[in-house]
Structure 1
Amino acid sequence: MLVTPDSILAYCMEHLEGVVLRESWGERGIYYNPGETLPRGVYILTIKEKDGENDRASQLDREGVYRVNLGLRKPSFRALFGELPKRPPAGGVVEMPYDFAALDRLIPHPVYAWMGWIAVLSPGEQTFRELLPYIEEAYGFAKEKYNRRKRK
């Protein structure tokens, strides 16, 4: 199986109930929003295919390179990468000893690791399979956040 941005998004749309696909800020994202009852829904996963003004650490302008981004619960992030870093200044990158441009490797998100986000650039088939439990966790976490927002 060739792993592409489209195949990852299709997997999410097929396997996760109550999700919508949206394009915004130069990214395509999967949001939990059953019935589209919230204005935007809650992020589960995004795919970024080009560098942005405040996000260049992954060098996404390279041919065929894209980044999959997922928001995990903080304990899961800590189990993978240790303590959450401090929030970087606008346009900055988190201070962590990782190569944020490395391909096919699970890494902290270069900008949003402080919130528990992880990333992988251009995952191969094996790395995508390793990502599946994290997609499920991000989905469950998004549902929890959605339910809290609905109660307000």
Structure 2
Amino acid sequence: MDQIRRHLTSFEGSRFVEANGDSFAIYDPRGDLPPERQMPWATLVTHDDPYDSASRLDRDGVFRLNIGLPRDRFAELVEPGREYDVTALDVLLPHPVYGGQHWVCVLNPVRTWPRARGLLDEAYDFAVRKFANADRRRSARP
């Protein structure tokens, strides 16, 4: 998990926010996004909570890396209608709660770390594009 944290903090323009033992990578190059626009592009979750306990993060040492992807990329990785074991370690899965918003996850990535690292690069690039698009829309307003 420390290696993943270090990797997440290396993305230029991103802030790494920690709250309640969880970590959130947010693209905010100027550091001025209002709270309602601070959407993470990747997260590290270390415990179950009332709305998300499907992965059974209450197991000793288990954590989940979550990665937000563009719709098309998510569709390339996830088979529609397939039943996934969202408690499986070191397997790329649709996020048990946010899969509908095109998030994938992996619990304790070891063998899958190289693939997850590549997906983090894609998620970061997607966050940069979304930020730039929103910036252009805001500046185009009279």
Q: Sort the TM-score into its range (normalised by shorter chain).
A: 0.7 to 0.9
Counting matched residue pairs gives 135
Match of 1:47 in 2: 44
Match of 2:50, SS?
Answer: coil
| Residues 42 and 119 of structure 1, relative CA distance in 2, 3 Å threshold | same
Unaligned runs of 5+ in 2: none
Match of 1:122 in 2: 108
CA distance in 1 between partners of 2:133 and 2:61 (Å): 38
Of the three residues 5, 9, 18, the one matched with 1:9 is: 5
Match of 2:18 in 1: 23
Give the number of the structure with larger relative contact order, counting CA–CA contacts within 8 Å between residues 6 or more apart.
Answer: 1
Q: Is the 8 A contact 1:106 1:118 kept in 2?
A: yes
Match of 2:122 in 1: 137
Match of 1:106 in 2: 92
Q: Is the 8 A contact 1:51 1:59 kept in 2?
A: yes
Match of 1:138, SS?
Answer: helix
CA distance in 1 between partners of 2:131 and 2:21 (Å): 23
CA RMSD of aligned residues (A): 1.6
Q: Is the 8 A contact 1:42 1:146 kept in 2?
A: no
CA distance in 1 between partners of 2:129 and 2:40 (Å): 11
Match of 1:35 in 2: 30
TM superposition score normalised by structure 1: 0.82
TM superposition score normalised by structure 2: 0.87
Q: Is the 8 A contact 1:47 1:68 kept in 2?
A: yes
State the identity as a percent.
Answer: 36
* 1:76 lines up with 2:65 in the alignment: no
